[in-house]
Structure 1
């Protein structure tokens, strides 16, 4: 059985994916990324104690929105903040559904190393969960400062 901390991390990472996919402001993506880093830095016992004491938002890096996602995830609640984020990312492929289902990967993606909103690790896990066989990272050169290279 997965721990509460692992459940919370998965929810935060899914939020990062949804925010990035919906072109949310970069500060929101960074907030959820930072919250995931904070949770990852805790051990299971510390995390469980914070959840039980409803004191997650006392941690630097856990705010109201990220705290809500964590709390809903560990309680197993559906239909809350995370589901609303996910609903905004649903795209009806229309007549392109057959083409989309035949794609085996992505040849153009950007990570937080330049102007993307998700880490390479999270993007790789997401690509795998989508059934992709490959993911090509095309981050910008450090010299392209307009794209945060």
Structure 2
């Protein structure tokens, strides 16, 4: 079956999908049925298997160029005070037993950008800003604890 072309107006900013039947007819001017055309066309596209968002993110972990792009795009993480929490414990008189004070639970952020070593300064002061107890400690957040 010989094919000849015909003119078809398409808007310049079109998102339309043009099928072969839109631009070709046989030499008698008859369009072949769509099913017949689709049987002749071998589609090479195969839909990828479905993956969760977590699986897709794990694929990106080893991509150094993507990680570098993210660092350039987001900028450097500022070094310094990340967070400051102040808890008022109240006023307590002296006694033989120890006092116990639990701070409210705090959820740590997740992800690659918060990994690293944090230097923490803790202290116990009174209303007059007298330092009764101070200590420093480190918190290391890693993905794997093998190293």
| Common topology (TM > 0.5) | no
| TM-score bracket relative to the smaller structure | under 0.3
Query: Please, what TM-score do these two structures have when normalized by structure 2?
Result: 0.21
Bigger fraction of residues in strand: 2
Query: Please, what TM-score do these two structures have when normalized by structure 1?
Result: 0.21
Structure having the higher Rg: 2
Bigger fraction of residues in helix: 1
- Choose between structure 1 and 2 for higher RCO, CA contacts under 8 A separated by at least 6 residues: 1
